[in-house]
Amino acid sequence: MTATDRAIQLAVAAAEAASDKLADDIVAFDVSERMAITDVFLVCSASNDRQVRSVVDSVEEKLRNLGARPASREGEREGRWVLLDYLEIVVHVQHAEERVFYALERLWKDCPTIELPAEVNAGRGPRSGDGE
């Protein structure tokens, strides 16, 4: 089983919205074979709490325009790691320090990545945790 077309559409849209707000290191994992509760994890980084909130707002607006609303939202108050659960996809917007510390990529490294448009990560650094 692989991620649904709708999940991929939402993940790409969320990645584009995050990129528009200069999120770094945007990656999408197809977790559909490992998890029954969602198809895609999208992970991205922001350099400060304000940018985390800005990325979250942008993602929510773009996905709302596609008819999607988050079923739950966690971590907004702290602004260090916000999780948006859209059922088909889960978006993790992490402060850069949390991204390095929690290293979600290591948990999902065996899952296939979803190809995102080239402009999403254009000119941005490599994924946190690469080189291991």
**Structural domain spans, the chain:** 5-114
Strands in 47-130 per DSSP E? 72-74, 81-85, 89-95
- Residue 78, pLDDT > 90, answer no
67: left (phi over 0), alpha (psi -120 to 50) or beta: left
* CATH code for the part of the protein at 5-114: 3.30.460.10
Mean pLDDT calculated for residue range 113-126: 80
37: left (phi over 0), alpha (psi -120 to 50) or beta: alpha
**Least confident interval from 19-28, 65-74, 115-124:** 115-124
Query: In this predicted model, which residue has the larger pLDDT, 123 or 118?
Result: 118
What is the pLDDT, as a whole number, of residue 123?
Answer: 55
What is the pLDDT, as a whole number, of residue 16?
Answer: 98
Report yes or no: 56 and 14 within 8 Å, Cβ to Cβ.
no
pLDDT in tens, 91-110: 999 999 999 999 998 999 99
pLDDT in tens, 27-67: 999 999 999 899 999 999 999 999 999 999 999 999 999 99
What is the pLDDT, as a whole number, of residue 121?
Answer: 83
What is the pLDDT, as a whole number, of residue 122?
Answer: 73
Q: What is the mean pLDDT of the chain?
A: 91
DSSP 113: B
